[in-house]
Structure 1
């Protein structure tokens, strides 16, 4: 509410618009408006009726600023309690994450829209399982595991699954299946996982299986039950593993934690005519830095990493690089582009 649409917000809007993804706006930090009386856990509908005219006037000013900023990007937004057609207007819910005020309103809007417009996807629990691999982790006592969001069908211990790797499709079998304990979220579960025999959509789970090396985060996991399904899934996995990024003989190197992230970064670089020589998934390694140093153009001796870390030995390699290799990393693409532009300006 206070800062308006920041560059990262604009970047997210562009991605959402291009992918035609529905969304709701949470206008956070409503409690920072001068004179706003916040109450922990209160609904926003109740809160707005309990504010002074001055506080509501300041809120309306901020709100109309947001309306104008979103309109510049082709979006019509309306306060959630005033929306009459959710297919024409995007709901904006004022909230205070700090006080928990308005959170119930936000959840009500999201759940209501999901039940109204995503009914078919939410009830797609029959048939072969399909999910998205979030990341691969090394777990003590289990070895390599996959954190997965199962969004269709079911999967059980012993099922054959087809995964997308950097070498194409690969079939393996589920050795262990684990669900977050109680109300724990996957990202916060830590070691709080319970062994399961079967999981149904939609749910988050951890899978242990042999031969998980090279599995790409952000790609599809498919459960198969016969030769025909396996052949079809392997063909789909092969196609998914082939990055739709045009590489040049000379250019920069890029890395990301998922296929989607890598392609998003590549798209932005293509838009500003920055050539790409190498593109891959995973953390930035020492080998990546050495490949970066091999560029003949000094301005191409840079590796840009979106939402992925750089390994300690790679940091040492950058610091001691006689070729002037540069690592630029961030969880926000526009910051990577800004830092790259500044680096180029310093070297020209």
Structure 2
């Protein structure tokens, strides 16, 4: 049920907060502390009804009084005086409006500004502050609570100024969604090229750029700003020159869905490789249409049909095979098929109907940004809606600025840019992050206020607990309706384990929550996996694999839940239990240190001894250990011995060398990582 503050209701009823508080106490037996207290809307309606009836009765009394007045003039004065005293609380008393003043302030205010707002001299205000025990000079700032207490002494109500700029921006975007078709115009599609390393992504982009961009430039030099626009058959296409799916997903994790179409490059002589599969999964998670460019068709071992066959295994069925995926054979080397590829991109764009309104405030996203020694903060922006002009004030994530200069993808100075056009701008206060959204606002002051508010909000969110999905809290999030789909990323030591886990996990779907395995691959858990999990709010399950150092740091930073298992059924049981709210984490694994094996020694009576260097944390004699080779767990056991030189020791700290042997395991190799861990019992919380 909605609530209303006392001062707001008093303003609506045209009476003072003091009178309203007395009325609540006397007539309704509702005790409230002050003007900032809240009451239920139901009670507020009763008060309105009560005062309305009272006003009507007063009007009736007045009419009776007039009639009596005509017959008996002598009693007129006494009747009027009685009525005045009875009508003290009628909501027509203008005196109350004068005696009570409401002012809006920010979180802090200077003594001088406050004295001006409440209409008192700064000497009087400072005097009252001294009585309150606050020593403040005329230009010193005081906080909101101090200002509120001080204002009460002068019969003034202080309320916090509502910053509705963010709200205005979100309302503006809502308007865009329901915008009239008459205002919308066709805009160029924004395209990202993805695929496996060495399959010709860069060569293809270079071939497109040289044939469609560079030939029109003086001296054939292209100004690199991370994006460029090409023209084919009178239609424009904007290409994002990003370094693959990691950047694509990092942008999506920041809420910037800027790519309209993805060109997936697959080599005709190589077929689908691990990074190709990753790119497909990233595109599917983002729900972006794919056009497949089968590159290197000029190579001797090229087999287009084999590539098409492999694509069907990932749910991408080519058009000529009865599906809806456009496949174009191309050669970046001979330029064959490039025009056809671009025509197919335009055809896909036509089907998708990408439109925007250029006659409104600009909004979009940051493609890339850097700090230039001579020019300061430089950012490449992609305008997604509206028109951006030189001189406009913009808010970009937690930074702001006024556009001093704007350049197109050829390095030419321009004054304005419409939808789907990439531009490089100067004039921001700080360097923004790639993927940050930007919005045009009315002036620089507004932009600065909003940026400060966002910075504060980021700090608060960082201090508060994250809302990312985790197995421990999964049941609560399902019940609260926060989770409708449980996205899972599976990493394992062999392909067979991935398939088995995928099928078993997807069978756990219920009416309340659908389990989706959005990505599965062989190898260690990497930073790319963390990026995808963060963007898709997914849980990572590792089977016989471990995260690398960068992945661990990224998981901690992005609050991504990672679980590693040695037994496939334990993983399935844990997720099933989490969905039913029965997961009981009795024990938690705590990794205490890592050591790298630098040298191995074979001793006939003992076995293999490893000469190690402790990279992180510490290795203790009583810890459990696992041997990790190329990110994959090859064995788990206990330490048989731990030595420094010839002495047995209890522990060896980071930065020191040691010798160790592992219980029942001699297949140690140089470069292996020894990870030491202990299992900690989690005490049950008492109810």
**Is TM-score (shorter-chain normalized) higher than 0.5?**
yes
| Counterpart for residue 282 of structure 2 | 15
Which structure 2 residues correspond to residues 286-301 of structure 1 after superposition, within 5 A? 297-299=592-594
Which structure 2 residues correspond to residues 192-341 of structure 1 after superposition, within 5 A? 193-213=411-431, 215-225=432-442, 263=534, 267=538, 270-272=540-542, 278-279=556-557, 297-299=592-594, 324=615, 340-341=631-632
CA offset digits 1:270-317 (Å, max 9, x no partner): 23285665327xxxxxxxxxxxxxx9632599xxxxxxxxxxxxxxxx
Higher relative contact order (CA 8 A, sep 6+): 1
Structure 2 vs 1, CA of residues 89 and 7 (structure 1 numbering), >3 Å: closer, same or farther?
Answer: same
| Counterpart for residue 73 of structure 1 | 314
Q: Following TM superposition, by how much is the alpha carbon of 1:111 offset from its aligned partner in structure 2, in angstroms?
A: 1.1
Structure 2 vs 1, CA of residues 209 and 262 (structure 1 numbering), >3 Å: closer, same or farther?
Answer: farther
CA offset digits 1:229-274 (Å, max 9, x no partner): 99899989968x9787579xxxxx9878xx966835995x823285
Structure 2 vs 1, CA of residues 233 and 16 (structure 1 numbering), >3 Å: closer, same or farther?
Answer: farther
- What is the rounded CA distance, in whole Å, between the counterparts of 2:361 and 2:433 in structure 1? 21
Structure 2 vs 1, CA of residues 339 and 208 (structure 1 numbering), >3 Å: closer, same or farther?
Answer: farther
Partner of 2:307: helix, strand, or coil? helix
Moved more, 139-148 or 90-99: 139-148
Partner of 2:378: helix, strand, or coil? strand
The 8 Å contact of residues 367 and 381 in structure 2, kept in 1 or not, is answered as yes
The 8 Å contact of residues 393 and 447 in structure 2, kept in 1 or not, is answered as no
Structure 2 vs 1, CA of residues 297 and 171 (structure 1 numbering), >3 Å: closer, same or farther?
Answer: same
Structure 2 vs 1, CA of residues 2 and 221 (structure 1 numbering), >3 Å: closer, same or farther?
Answer: same
- What is the rounded CA distance, in whole Å, between the counterparts of 1:13 and 1:198 in structure 2? 36
| Counterpart for residue 376 of structure 2 | 143
Q: Which has the higher strand share?
A: 2
Partner of 2:359: helix, strand, or coil? coil
Q: Following TM superposition, by how much is the alpha carbon of 1:176 offset from its aligned partner in structure 2, in angstroms?
A: 2.2
TM-score (norm 1): 0.57
Query: How many residues of Structure 1 are paired with residues of Structure 2 in the alignment?
Result: 246
Q: Following TM superposition, by how much is the alpha carbon of 1:205 offset from its aligned partner in structure 2, in angstroms?
A: 0.8
- What is the rounded CA distance, in whole Å, between the counterparts of 1:300 and 1:198 in structure 2? 57
- What is the rounded CA distance, in whole Å, between the counterparts of 1:19 and 1:216 in structure 2? 20
Structure 2 vs 1, CA of residues 207 and 228 (structure 1 numbering), >3 Å: closer, same or farther?
Answer: closer
Structure 2 vs 1, CA of residues 97 and 64 (structure 1 numbering), >3 Å: closer, same or farther?
Answer: same
Structure 2 vs 1, CA of residues 139 and 230 (structure 1 numbering), >3 Å: closer, same or farther?
Answer: closer
Choose which of 323, 334, 350 in structure 2 pairs with 1:115. Answer: 350
| 2:380 corresponds to 1:176 | no
Moved more, 108-117 or 136-145: 136-145
Q: Following TM superposition, by how much is the alpha carbon of 1:31 offset from its aligned partner in structure 2, in angstroms?
A: 0.3
Structure 2 residue runs without a partner (length 5+) = 1-267, 471-524, 559-589, 597-612, 617-628, 636-670, 675-687
Structure 2 vs 1, CA of residues 93 and 255 (structure 1 numbering), >3 Å: closer, same or farther?
Answer: closer
- What is the rounded CA distance, in whole Å, between the counterparts of 1:27 and 1:298 in structure 2? 46
- What is the rounded CA distance, in whole Å, between the counterparts of 2:424 and 2:399 in structure 1? 18
Which structure 2 residues correspond to residues 46-195 of structure 1 after superposition, within 5 A? 62-79=303-320, 88-120=323-355, 123-164=356-397, 169-181=398-410, 193-195=411-413
Structure 2 vs 1, CA of residues 105 and 15 (structure 1 numbering), >3 Å: closer, same or farther?
Answer: same
Partner of 2:434: helix, strand, or coil? coil
- What is the rounded CA distance, in whole Å, between the counterparts of 1:300 and 1:124 in structure 2? 58
Structure 2 vs 1, CA of residues 198 and 234 (structure 1 numbering), >3 Å: closer, same or farther?
Answer: farther
TM-score (norm 2): 0.31
- What is the rounded CA distance, in whole Å, between the counterparts of 2:360 and 2:336 in structure 1? 40
Structure 1 residue runs without a partner (length 5+) = 35-58, 182-192, 248-252, 281-294, 302-321, 326-337
The 8 Å contact of residues 254 and 279 in structure 1, kept in 2 or not, is answered as no
